[in-house]
Amino acid sequence: MDDELTALQQLPDDPDLARYRMVNPLEIGSVLRQLLTRGDFVSMHFGRSQFMLTRVLQVDVPSRSFCFDWGGQEELNRALLVSDRNICVAAPDGVKVQFVLGRPREARVDGRPAFIVGFPPDLIKLQRREYFRIETPLAHPFVCRFTLQDGQQFVMPLHDLSLGGLGLWASTVEAQKLQCGVQLHDAVIELGVGGVVQTDLEICALRSMTSRSGEARFHVGCRFLSLTRGAEASVQRLMAQLERERKALTG
């Protein structure tokens, strides 16, 4: 169940995800029907860090609406009924699906309480394995070294790693010198036993976060621009090793 909950975490803010956005109601309905048929869990994030697990119960493509299950905590159900922005995440067969719903209404399905809501205006469905992200070690952090065009040099610890890119931790002062769209040429990524990878990066997202140690930091999301096949293989092997180690620790 812990692995399921990890898969149902929200996607990071990343402009590169736009290429996976669906807007056709028929396509959106097809994805919702898949969730219905499979009985997959859907995580619902709303309000001030409120969260509940649910499942799709009915999908009505002609009316562009669907029903999902009533939760086990009445307080959360009532809070959801007055929430205008609700982020939903599912992971059928490991394919990440995320969409945002408006305020739902109370309904009945087979005589039991449920929610009914209109289709989301769009839906993100990731189909590439690059977006499986894993957090990197704290004890012996990996680092990324790069130089901006004005000659400023940076050494930043990695927060997470994927085959599509990586996330860096930056201080407030460092973050003020960076901006989305900037390309980092010949960045050197030191990955411990995974070796050293040199590649071009593009900054895609900057957001304020709290580090695992409780420190206020910035997360700098970057995508790979020129990862060679050899480097990709090295990153993939390292990610597999980190995932095995994570599972060994968590059981």
CATH code assigned at 64 = 2.30.110.10
Total domains, the chain: 2
CA distance 155 to 171: 11
Assign residue 152 the CATH number of its domain.
2.40.10.220
109 and 84 in a common domain? yes
| Residues in CB range of 35: below 8 A, 6 or more apart | 42, 55, 56, 90, 92, 97
Q: 159 — phi, psi (to 5°)?
A: -100, -40
CA distance 166 to 161: 4
pLDDT by position in tens, the chain (length 251): 444 444 445 565 555 566 678 999 999 999 999 999 999 999 999 987 888 999 999 999 999 999 999 998 999 999 999 999 999 999 887 678 999 999 999 999 999 999 999 999 999 887 655 566 788 888 888 999 999 999 999 999 998 888 888 999 999 899 999 998 899 999 999 999 889 999 999 998 888 876 666 777 888 989 898 888 888 888 888 888 888 887 777 65
Domain of residue 13, residue span:
2-127
116 and 95 in a common domain? yes
Give the DSSP per-residue string, 161-203: E-SSEEEEEE-HHHHTT--TT-EEEEEEEE-GGG-EEEEEEEE
Nearest CA to 154 among 218, 107, 83? 218
Query: Which residue in the block uniquely carries the two structure tokens 């420190």?
Result: 215
213 alpha-carbon distance from chain centroid: 21
94 and 199 in a common domain? no
Boundary of a domain, candidates 97, 127, 157: 127
147 and 106 in a common domain? no
Instruction: Tell me the C-alpha to C-alpha distance, in Å, between residue 164 and each of 74, 113, 204, 227.
Output: 40, 42, 12, 9
168 and 119 in a common domain? no
114 and 39 in a common domain? yes
117 and 8 in a common domain? yes
180 and 97 in a common domain? no
Task: Tell me the pTM.
Answer: 0.54
